Structure 1
């Protein structure tokens, strides 16, 4: 790719959710966009900006002339602690307080006098930071939402359980026979006013006004779910994973030197693994947010010790609820020489090391993707969010995992570690993991299904089949780049479908709300939207607690010379009603 003058570059503003597992993949997206010629502004919260400087060094966020770091406050009380913030409080605070500060930042970036960079041409934000959609509408640029979890996590986040965790359900397309306990923890409730349920619903509804959704997955890995999402949900879906395989293809040293770990990495982990035989070590890491009780920590410890196998265990200082993570001295003595403890590491490097035979994980999506790309089978102990869903797929559909019960027992930990390392099931899991590793490499390689798209030809196949070709003058590409020399870069595209059914008898055009309104160049434009309605009733007893979900697909495309057209798609009823 030839060099592009700064003044001519499209400008992407990237806004991750302020947690480790969201910042890492967003930085990879930003690097890939920069590699494709974009000017980048990467927006961290002030709290995480300070943590990054502490863990990476005082010059780690200096950036490049065309890759700059900016900050906005998260609205929470200032603190110098080095821990993940309370997630519900953070969700509530960012939703309520970040938009005005983000508007102010955009105004500064677009100030032709004060700014040294090009004007903002698109915003790429985390799916949990959808307040940016409103800001994008206000300045007339495309908004691309990046959902950092699995496609199945997006789909089942639209469904609310009735309280029976072991009940098998069959009404989520692509996820037949999933149990309520396998659904994301945030929506696994019977309380209609639950804070996190309301947050998920609000983020989903706002997110439907975006120009596109990108997901860190690949088509072969989640095909049934992706097919359903792409045929039923808009904005269009773009699969861009595994992101770390794609980012590893970037050869520019300036970009490769940029990292985003909020804790200081212990490099001796790799040196220790180098001294071990191939496929001899179990890697244990429960991510950046998972916490456990002191009893659970001890049970995991003795399960690992009694298995007899070597292990590398990442133990964050805040891993135990309300206190420091302290392991029994007897455990440390028992495992001396065959166990290594560290507070943080470069997980991507660990999981591709030849010494690693298995991974005891919380089933976070980044960890799942990285284990698949390393061909590493997993033992799952999901904690929250969509991790139970990822675990369900790992143990079933993908065939790469086993699950440990929430009530951790050392005997069960020992048994599963032994099974993974030496048992027949472990061998089958390893074989399946290697198959997925090959498919992941194909997806991220030249001609593969996953790469950052700059036009609709790279969208998910189901979306491509339904997309009608628009006039060139009506839109730029999904990331705001001009689609031909001299084309305006601030016009949002409005995709629409040719194949739609009519509204059901009890619904009509007048009683269905239109959402997603925006005014661009004095012309009203409406994209497809999903109107999400939750009906919670019959709470007389646990037996009657249920929720009915109705999803209605509405297309309204308004042009000055045409009448308003309203078309609607399917209605899905979930629950007992």
Structure 2
């Protein structure tokens, strides 16, 4: 039944759109990458493009949430046994190996469907981590743009990794964590976008491949905006061969359909409705990060000791060795008298926009960071890996709209950080800056704003001549 609907939509696209305004999208199948690519597809659909989403069966998006798009799954041959224990880095590496041939087969089928059209597709927009797409797209003479789902500053950090290796910053030494990286201000060595990979050369190879994927593309699209990252954008434009299109924040162009791989718990909103304005700490560490049981307990006790209401997202399996909440002390939630609410997943955009939310304790993935900025919500930063460290440095040192949770995950540190932001004068100053940045984010995608102009430029590049 669903396959028939997709075939009907594809047939309509073939017969009803002879002007070549069809776009192919291919996301990396992780939540933080799927969300922005579908948001970008929504934006370009609203500008008159037909949208075809090529995707893996692993972490497949739900087509029913996006009725205007055509979805084309490829046989990725990724078994649950293979993917369940893999790191993000190892998963990305495996996808690049397993998806090359299925992707080529998919393009062959799509181009055969449009064999009587001179230029059936305006472009492919893919994630640069899927570096195998470059040669395949080239073989079809298909223009290729990439959507980089990090911020511009973090991307610039990735491009500098070969130089950082030459200069002796990498591999990172514990004794030098606080040293500044002179080539990448304002970063310190501990802020560099790297992970503790078991096979560092393999990690560096993957980074080099996705940077090359971006360099050789027809343009790099960012879910960011000039008023937020003007210095990094200016530097990248001067030194990067491909055109740069910062057109974010994507979610502010118009309401987008859900792209969540997990079902949000709507009780989050009904609980927030009962809380005082700006009183709640929202806690969520994204769709991938996992913590140890001891850290989990310290977080629980730190939240309780802060005396502030909290909404805490705990994904099943996000605590090593646990299913969900079984390690919480007996009677923990009851002892809070309604001051805490725990869910498996939350509708984050709605939560951050809610008047009761006064702070966001986050892992600083780029989507979460940008969404918090757009709602003027100050952040407590706890980065876990890669670009999250860069984002934290910008949040705390450059934009000054948050604080970093330092000195370990201990209940006293946690309670102190929460109260700094929620109760003390320092938090009021941070909140003022966050609200100022919110206004800049609101303006940029409107007529006359920097992102609005950049989007116009992107559309011009994508539109057939």
Normalised TM-score (structure 1) = 0.72
In structure 2, what is the equivalent of residue 520 of structure 1? none
Q: Distance in 1 between matches of 2:334 and 2:432?
A: 35
The 4+ residue runs of structure 1 with deviation greater than 6 A are 113-116
Query: How far off its partner does 1:404 sit?
Result: 1.2
Cα deviation, residue 168, structure 1: 2.2
Q: Which residue of 1 aligns with 2:7?
A: none
Structure with greater helix share of residues: 2
Q: Give the superposition deviation at 1:36.
A: 0.8
Partner Cα distance (1:322, 1:335) in 2: 26
Deviation at 1:10, TM superposition (A): 1.1
Give the corresponding residue for 2:245: 238
Match of 1:304 in 2: 303
The answer to whether the 8 Å contact 2:122/2:464 transfers is no
Measured in 2, the distance between the counterparts of 1:109 and 1:240 equals 29
Instruction: Indicate conservation of the 8 Å contact 1:156/1:172, yes or no.
Output: no
Please give the alpha-carbon distance, in whole angstroms, between the structure 1 residues aligned to 2:380 and 2:116: 50
Report the equivalent of 2:287. Answer: 288
Where do residues 73-84 of structure 1 align in structure 2 (5 Å cutoff)? 73-78=75-80
Kept in 2, the 8 Å contact 1:20–1:262? The answer is yes
* Equivalent in the alignment of 1:98: 99
Select which of 218, 223, 238 maps to 1:216: 223
The separation in 2 between residues aligned to 1:431 and 1:115, in whole angstroms, is 58
TM-score by length of 2: 0.88
Q: Structure 1 residues 216 and 125, CA, compared in 2 at 3 Å: closer, same or farther?
A: same
CA distance in structure 1 between the partners assigned to 2:230 and 2:50 by the alignment? 33
Deviation string for 1:254-312 (max 9, x for gaps)? xx4x3211111111111111111211111000000110000000001100001111010
CA deviation string 1:23-71 (max 9, x = no partner): 011100001111111111112210212xx55xxxxx726733xx20111
| Match among 183, 188, 213 for residue 192 of structure 2 | 183
Residue matched to 2:64: 60
Match of 1:228 among 222, 235, 253: 235
Q: What is the rounded CA distance, in whole Å, between the counterparts of 1:143 and 1:364 in structure 2?
A: 25
2:449 is the alignment partner of 1:482:
no
1:327-374, CA deviations, whole angstroms, 9 ceiling, x for partnerless residues? 222422222401110001111111011110000000110001000000
Contact kept in structure 2, 1:62 and 1:69, CA below 8 Å: no
Distance 1:111 1:275 in 2: 57
Alpha-carbon distance change, 135 to 113 in structure 1, aligned in 2, over 3 angstroms = closer
Task: Name the structure with the higher strand share.
Answer: 1
Partner of 1:69: 71
Partner of 2:364, secondary structure, is: coil
Q: Distance in 2 between matches of 1:92 and 1:36?
A: 34
The corresponding residue for 1:316 is 315
| Contact 1:23–1:260 (CA under 8 A) maintained in structure 2 | yes
Q: Which ranges of structure 2 fall in alignment gaps of 5 or more residues? A: 1-12
SS of structure 2 residue aligned to 1:89: helix
Using the alignment, how far apart are the partners of 1:477 and 1:136 within structure 2? 21
Using the TM superposition, name which of 283-292 and 201-210 deviates more: 201-210
Distance 1:10 1:113, change over 3 A: closer
Deviations along 1:367-411, one digit per CA (max 9) or x if unpaired, are 010000000000001001110110011111000111113730000
Aligned residue pairs, count = 440
